[in-house]
Every structure is written in C-alpha cells, then in structure tokens.
Amino acid sequence: MQAWREVQLWDTFDRTLRQNYNMDDLIFSLDQLSPAQKELFVTIMLSLWKCKNLKLWQQQNKTIPQVVGRAKNLLDDWRVAQGVISNKVIVSSTHQSDSSNCHGVEWKKPAYGRYKCNIVVSFSFSLNMVGISICLRHDLG
C-alpha cells in the first residue's frame, strides 16, 4: 500500500476495491490507467517482487523509497534503451547526446564466477499487453 501511495496510484486502487470488493475488478481497472501509470505499475510490481526475494534469500530489508526508487530507475533505463525519454535526451555510459546521435549502451560480461541478469520489459498499448524477458549469463556469455 505504501509503495502505491508514493507513486500516486493508491487512490485509484482503493476506489476500485471499495466500489467492487473484488480483486478481479481491480486487475481490469488497470486498463483505465494512463500509459505512464501502467509502466510504473509493472515496474513497481517487479521491484516489490525483488524486495521479497532479497528479504527471503539474503535477509535484506528494503524501505519503500528504495523499492520505488528501484522501479523508477528500471523504468528510466528501459526508456533510455527504447529512446523514449520524454525530453528526447539519451544518456549512455560514456556520453550524452540527443536521440538522433545516440550511441548504444554496450553489454559487458560479468566477472569470472559471477552471473548477470538482464531483464527486458515491453509495453504494447495498442495490444494492451506487457511482456517480460529475463536472460541469465555467466562470464562466458
């Protein structure tokens, strides 16, 4: 509830739950969110999932601002990768330029004995669908 309040989505969810008392209706009410709110909803869900896993597997407790911050960073990174930052400025790891001169961000392999998890999230507003892909790689690729 606190995470949803911090990103100004709780009132929408609360109103739907009070009117219908039904989780199914809440899920279908997500269609009423703006595209930016839908993106934020999905990334908050991913961040909450990661928070629960960190607590379970590594005994790390994260605060709500950390959960929300992780979600917003993920969303910002996705937008940069897609070239859809609202001000049309893309920042790569080495330089900043407008989107017409963008140099791609290069994937770097993890150190020996480590793994890297790349997550790709796609949003199709015309199809009203969300896709998530996860690629786990070790130092040999």
What six digits make up the tokens of 131? 């896709």
Q: Rounded CA gap, 16 and 27, in Å?
A: 10
Largest CA distance in the chain: 54
- Give the DSSP letter of residue 83: T
The answer to whether the predicted template modeling score (pTM) of the entire model surpasses 0.85 is: no
pLDDT at 104: 55
Full 3-state SS string of 12-63: HHHHHHHHHCCHHHHHHHHHHCCHHHHHHHHHHHHHHHHHHHHHHHHCCCCC
What six digits make up the tokens of 49? 């999932």
* C-beta separation of 44 from 72 below 8 A: no
Closest CA to 13 of 35, 37, 49, 36: 37
SS3 88: coil
**Residues comprising the chain, all counted:** 141
Q: Rounded CA gap, 23 and 116, in Å?
A: 35
- pLDDT tens per residue across all 141 residues of the chain: 788 888 877 887 777 777 766 666 767 777 778 888 888 888 888 888 888 888 888 898 999 899 999 999 988 888 887 775 444 444 433 334 343 444 455 667 888 888 888 787 877 777 777 788 888 788 876
